[in-house]
Structure 1
Amino acid sequence: MTSFVALLRAVNVAGTGKLPMAQLKAIGEACDFSSVRTFIASGNLLFASDRDEPEVAALLEDRLEAFAGKRIPIFVRSAAEMAEVAARNPFTDDKPSRVMAHFIAEPPTDAMLAEAKDVAGERMALGPRAIYVSYGEGIGKTRLKLPAVRHGTARNINSVAKIASLLA
């Protein structure tokens, strides 16, 4: 049995993609996952399953689409991978609330970082299927454009560490 988190993109953020966490939990239970729970209202489903990552992702995507009437992008990570993302944070010198792990579908590359535009003090680094960004002055003030994360989802390092701890 493997512990996983499904990180949903654009759920309950800035008035988009309303999904009550009780409903998200019920969807996880309907997939026959065990130890199903949510963490904060931004679309984090924690669970355990005997299935592999692609299978749990497909099950969730289908159930979420049936509920929402549209495809909701999700990024499934194992407990081990979330612990690795938390441990490999290269920006421990910044406030954890200002460091984001942007979860993406494929392994990140240096070329992805080279595509960044309007960099003004932000620092970036590659992680395990994630790109770390230290927003220094705060994400609300950034003009950074990083095409590689446009279709991903982000969590601040505090949330990443808490999710890793809950999955352990």
Structure 2
Amino acid sequence: MTIYIALLRGINVGGHNKIIMAELRNSLEQLGLQNVKTYIQSGNILFESDETEELLQTKIHEKIKEDFGVSSVVIIRTAEKIQQIVSQSPFSDQEISEAESSCKGECLHVALLPTAPSKANSDKFLSFVNEKELSVINGRDVYLLFYDSIRNSKLGNNLKKLEIPATVRNWKTLMKLSSMIEEAKRMKSK
């Protein structure tokens, strides 16, 4: 069985699209997903399945819509891909350290997309990069480094230029998901 991470967009944000994580875990177990675990309330789900990313994306989206009345974008990544995202940050330790020293809140984020954006849309989005807001697009993943804040940033507010729905996670969340993956791998090997 493959270990996957599902990332839901817009769950439990600002009092909208409320889903209790225990209920979400139960709902997803009804789909046959194994060892379902969640992290915080924003829709980060670790599970195991033999099905493909594409099929899981559709099934999870439909199940959430059916059980909770919420139509959320569902982004799926394998455990290996999440760990690759974490291990291959395009920003240097020095860039991250400098950003952290001036940033209000989390400075490093990754926007995860269901498919890679077109070159034209990537170019439109990257035109908003400046000395305080950096970005690197790597396939379906968009790394974002802010020296001030993601809130009200031109770069963050223009993710829509990619013309693909995205869900954004800060680095702390991705690191926690990576450690949950390591724990799940340890449990599988026992």
Tell me, in whole angstroms, the C-alpha distance in 1 between the residues paired with 2:119 and 2:152. 25
In the alignment, the residues of structure 1 paired with residue 54 and residue 128 of structure 2 have an alpha-carbon distance, to the nearest angstrom, of 35
2:121 is aligned to: 112
CA gap 1:25/1:149 in 2 versus in 1, 3 angstroms: farther
Which residue identity is paired with 1:65?
K
Select between 85-94 and 74-83 the one with higher mean Cα deviation: 85-94
Question: Which residue of structure 2 lines up, in the alignment, with residue 99 of structure 1?
Answer: 108
Amino acid at match of 1:137: D
Counterpart-to-counterpart distance in 2, 1:114 and 1:35: 40
1:156 to 170, 179, 188: 170
Which protein shows a greater Rg? 2
Relative to structure 1, is the Cα distance of residues 108 and 84 closer, same or farther in structure 2, using a 3 angstrom cutoff?
Answer: farther
CA contact (8 A) 1:102 1:149 kept: no
Task: In structure 1, list runs of 5 or more residues that go unmatched.
Answer: none
Once the 2 structures are TM-superposed, how far is the Cα of residue 58 of structure 1 from its aligned partner? 1.9
Structure 1 stretches of at least 4 aligned residues deviating more than 4 Å after TM superposition: 117-120
Corresponding pairs, count? 168
Query: Structure 2-normalised TM-score?
Result: 0.80
**Can you give the 5+ residue segments of structure 2 that lack an aligned partner in the other structure?**
183-190
Write the distance in 2 (CA, Å) between the matches of 1:166 and 1:149: 31
| Counterpart Cα distance in 2 of 1:14 and 1:34 | 30
> Any idea what SS the aligned residue of 2:115 has?
coil
For residues 89 and 67 of structure 2, the distance between their equivalents in structure 1, rounded to whole angstroms, comes to: 35
Aligned to 2:134: 123
Q: Where do residues 9-88 of structure 1 align in structure 2 (5 Å cutoff)?
A: 9-88=9-88
Tell me, in whole angstroms, the C-alpha distance in 1 between the residues paired with 2:38 and 2:70. 21
> Which residue type is aligned with residue 148 of structure 1?
L
Determine the C-alpha separation between the residues in 2 that align with 1:150 and 1:24: 25
Q: Distance in 2 between matches of 1:158 and 1:70?
A: 26
Counterpart secondary structure, 1:105: coil
Identity across aligned pairs (percent)?
A: 26
- Residue 188 of structure 2 is matched in structure 1 by none
Q: Which amino acid aligns with 2:111?
A: H
Shift of 1:102: 0.2
**Residues 85 and 127 of structure 1 are in contact (CA less than 8 Å); yes or no, is this contact kept in structure 2?**
no
Distance 1:158 1:149 in 2: 26
Measure how far apart 1:87 and its partner are. 1.2
CA distance in 2, matches of 1:124, 1:80: 22
Alpha-carbon distance change, 97 to 52 in structure 1, aligned in 2, over 3 angstroms: same
Q: CA deviation at 1:70?
A: 4.3
Secondary structure in 2 matching 1:97: coil
SS in 1 for 2:12: coil
